[in-house]
Amino acid sequence: MKTFILFLGLAGAAGSVHAGPILYTFNFTGGTITPTGSFDYDPSAITNPFSSFVILADGSTFDFTSLANGVTATGCGGSTGPQSFFDAVIGETGAGCGSQQWLAALGPATSGGSLFILLNGTNFNLSNIISTGPSSGFETFGTFTATAAAPEPGTWALFLAGAGTLLSWKRIRRGR
């Protein structure tokens, strides 16, 4: 009976843990500037899986959150919608996929502002235009990768709950 109660407790704890959004950071290379950026992606979200999708380039801030959540096309590897854009950004391979590239056209607000584009293959060219920028304009480009941060606490909790369950089963079997 104790084992059954222990099992129910572990199952309940594991079921209540929700693996939330995962933080991804960009590594931009090439170009005359070094942009920085990151985004959160929640694979369990039915709508709007992207949050805080921001890229900083030479003092300009580009927020791609609504653009990434609004993707409706079929893209890299055959997935659709925001998932297809996520696959393209993290470097998924498959039909329509290509190298991950970025382009920045940074200019003063008087010249129409600044533009930052993320490119991957033939299916995605996601661009963001803002009305502010540096005092002098220039263009630059390079490649990028996006990598996930270390597992979040919810992932570790699920792992430990599963390991605890296995150890308790092993202990019960040894007792028989």
- CA atoms in the 13 A half-sphere facing the CB of 49: 18
Q: Beta strand 50-57 with 60-63: parallel, antiparallel or unpaired?
A: antiparallel
Question: Is position 117 within any domain?
Answer: yes
Q: pLDDT (tens digit, 9 = 90+) per residue, 54-97?
A: 998 888 888 889 888 988 877 666 778 888 788 878 877 666 66
Question: Is position 158 within any domain?
Answer: no
Our count of domains for the chain comes to 1
Question: Is position 143 within any domain?
Answer: yes
Q: Cβ neighbours of residue 30 under 8 Å, at least 6 residues apart?
A: 140, 141, 142, 143
Question: Is position 13 within any domain?
Answer: no
Question: Is position 11 within any domain?
Answer: no
Question: Is position 5 within any domain?
Answer: no
Question: Is position 120 within any domain?
Answer: yes
Note whether 115 and 108 are within 8 A (CB): no
Question: Is position 56 within any domain?
Answer: yes
73: left (phi over 0), alpha (psi -120 to 50) or beta: beta
pTM over 0.85: no
Domain with 134 in it: 19-150
Q: pLDDT (tens digit, 9 = 90+) per residue, 137-172?
A: 667 888 888 888 776 677 777 878 888 887 887 777
